[in-house]
Structure 1
């Protein structure tokens, strides 16, 4: 009995092998032309009966048609939509046509038989794999990193009605381009997908600060104010604009604050107007003129808070709104005010204008002794008297116009004095400053002046003495007026003479007419005779 079962099993196996061999043999004859079997697709392309080359071309055309398809890229909360072409996706597996051709033709007898039997019941679909072109995809992600990314929003403070409110921070997001390239490849490793959405790889940056840390900001560390009542409207606007940009700034421990970076760019688009400012020893009109009073006022509040000054420059010429060596100039990027928060807690800057007064106050956590007092004293070391300069113009002779006021040159220093309980504990030179002397400039009119007058006035100008110039101008103006009056009298006399001659000529006309008439009468009489 057992022997009989064994013989039957062997016979069945033999029959299966015979059938498999026959099937494979038949299929091999069918595929002898080197074409792809029926019911085989590459992506959405039916490549049945195609050669390998024909299948490759068909898929290439299909990939070209995909270039306008859209892919959604996500980075945290931000999303953008890009086309396949923009994103730089290319056909990533060009051997798929060869795989399609070999399907059911390679491998052992059993695997080939199974593949061909499967085709009798369902299609075989090879995926169209897209791959990130490293150069193109990287360029696209870099160009759109601002759209995808987000800077961290630090915890902040807002001061209203004398009270602080903490503003919550938010984590920042930055796309990791190298890892995102791998993510794109992995996403399309199983083939193209319509409505594709790819979550890119990102790194996060935590915001600075916390409610607990900012709740410590409540004490006045230093305050100062200056007056700008004599300022023109353009300068007033610039002071208000710059103070508004600084107001509300929070500086965390160890951070450096740059005034120029915060208030720039200084142009009409960003709220600034034309106003007077110093340039090369003269006063010129420029956008942002007057912001130096903002940096100076802030400087005085900061040094009283005893924050660390890392960069400060004196003006080229003395200013009127603070004592010598108490100023801080702003001029492009080469003169700036910078300071660092050297305390262990954040500090808050409040800046505003009221009427024609500018105020700055530094808030933080007070750790200094309550009876400690910081005083700053200005000392002028030397002075340089300004010169007087003149320039000529085509204005009327006799006009002398002051176009620039003088500034006395000074060398000065600022002392920092510390008292505890009213007793002086230390006195040190805090900074030193040099201010250039700036001349008073007068414009002298030479319009209508004779060569002699012009030469004489220019000689007086060369003396550099205002009195001498005024005397020369007065003399030649008087001479010009006398000459003008004499010329007018001469013209008047000539006009009178002409009028008299004309009158005399008119008076002679009747006499001449009578003589002519007598002569005519005589001639007529003779004619009658």
Structure 2
């Protein structure tokens, strides 16, 4: 055979023989073991996973996870602290790591699988991905290293007793570099290093700087309003305080529209509200969050006096005693809202607080928009109640009982007079307020003589109910 032909045969045959040898090697049990088990020679850190099935490997990695949760020591200069790693959300993605280990030598090209199996034969040590919750880590570090930390202080507004405004300057703080610490913890755990970890402190600027607060332009009281309530009505007083607290400290950007319902939120037991009288269908009944409408009404009047734009407002179905007629604003979450707009070029700051039986809301802004405002309201039309007689077979025939006292209804008008330097610059008509008349309902006795129910008892019951409703209205 010619040398050239022999050479060509070698070129063709030798790679083929090599490939057949690789295939034979890959097909042998020694190269990869049973298909449902991890190849021999594969470790996860110091855990030998060789020939483990899925469940065995999962159990081993769970034990490794527990080992990694042992307490660590952190230090700063000559101070040391113990950091409880079981409280920082440290965990392994055991399912993912087991799949990674079982996939070695079983995916990719034939050549890739050959290389991975040969490497496993020599030994492969995998490093798991260690997951740590940065928020929980920061909380634990802050608790144990409190003495060396200096939280940043945001700039803010100080409202003095005379309603003048000052700026509380912001200040940078000094906190632990949590990202760096998390990386150092993972590195130490992967390397089996038990030496204390040195903390690195970083300077943290305030979230709101002094310059930013100055740029808001809040420097004067634009308008305020107060209403009275009976602090002895404990539930109602409590609801007023809860809603007022939700408004306190509210910052409003230029031209922003504020929704009372969005700021105050649902009137629920989870939010801290209690049952107290509310107006429903022209009647007083117990309901969750009774008293919140006094807060919306007080805010409405403060908004009017601050010369801000009213976007949405609805009056109650009956007049309320703590503001002049035509100057109330009712709210029902998800149904009836009160909204106003900051129609100035600067920011607003709202202060809302309760003192004894007095609710006060103040609106601060830039002095350029300060105006003298007067609100007038009056009754334009009065609606007389009707008298409705209902037959009642629980009352002796011939007797009559007032089941519901009647009340007049009204159509009230209002206006806002805006003045500057003693001169009227604007007279604005406010929306009409219509309060429906409440019919007087009389129960006409229809029962024959000898009935167990006595008319005198009914009269007493209805008298007590009427007194209760009148008492509620006086709040």
TM-score (norm 1): 0.54
Distance across 1 between alignment mates of 2:419 and 2:336: 32
SS of the residue corresponding to residue 326 of structure 1 reads coil
* 1:193–1:405 distance in 2 versus 1, CA, 3 Å: farther
User: Going by fraction, where is helix more abundant, 1 or 2?
Assistant: 1
* 1:93–1:41 distance in 2 versus 1, CA, 3 Å: closer
Distance across 2 between alignment mates of 1:230 and 1:448: 47
Structure 1 unmatched runs, 5+:
1-23, 49-53, 73-77, 108-114, 172-183, 197-205, 455-529
Q: Which residue of 1 aligns with 2:144?
A: none
Q: Which residue of 1 aligns with 2:438?
A: 438
Counterpart mapping for 1:331-346 below 5 A: 331-346=332-347
Q: Which residue of 2 aligns with 1:174?
A: none
* 1:401–1:213 distance in 2 versus 1, CA, 3 Å: farther
Task: Give the conservation status (yes or no) of the 8 Å contact 1:325–1:414.
Answer: yes
How far the C-alpha of 1:398 sits from its partner, in A, is 9.7
Q: Which residue of 2 aligns with 1:84?
A: 93
Q: Write the deviation string for residues 235-285 of structure 1: whole angstroms up to 9, x where unpaired.
A: 333223322332232223344433233334434554433322111221111
Task: Give the conservation status (yes or no) of the 8 Å contact 1:228–1:357.
Answer: yes
Q: How many residue pairs were aligned? A: 367
Q: Which residue of 2 aligns with 1:413?
A: 413
Distance across 2 between alignment mates of 1:155 and 1:220: 19
Q: 2:123 aligns with which of 122, 125, 150?
A: 125
Alignment pair present for 1:65 and 2:63 = no
Q: Which residue of 1 aligns with 2:425?
A: 425
Counterpart mapping for 1:296-311 below 5 A: 296-311=297-312
Distance across 2 between alignment mates of 1:170 and 1:386: 66
Higher relative contact order (CA 8 A, sep 6+): 2
Distance across 2 between alignment mates of 1:354 and 1:429: 33
* 1:377–1:434 distance in 2 versus 1, CA, 3 Å: same
* 1:311–1:211 distance in 2 versus 1, CA, 3 Å: farther
Q: Which residue of 2 aligns with 1:495?
A: none
Counterpart mapping for 1:25-36 below 5 A: 35-36=30-31
* 1:433–1:46 distance in 2 versus 1, CA, 3 Å: closer
* 1:374–1:84 distance in 2 versus 1, CA, 3 Å: same
How far the C-alpha of 1:229 sits from its partner, in A, is 4.8
Task: Give the conservation status (yes or no) of the 8 Å contact 2:92–2:128.
Answer: no
How far the C-alpha of 1:167 sits from its partner, in A, is 8.3
TM-score (norm 2): 0.59
Q: Which residue of 1 aligns with 2:238?
A: 237
Task: Give the conservation status (yes or no) of the 8 Å contact 2:305–2:373.
Answer: yes
SS of the residue corresponding to residue 361 of structure 2 reads strand
Distance across 2 between alignment mates of 1:45 and 1:36: 22
How far the C-alpha of 1:82 sits from its partner, in A, is 3.4
How far the C-alpha of 1:295 sits from its partner, in A, is 0.8
Q: Which residue of 2 aligns with 1:353?
A: 354
* 1:61–1:363 distance in 2 versus 1, CA, 3 Å: same
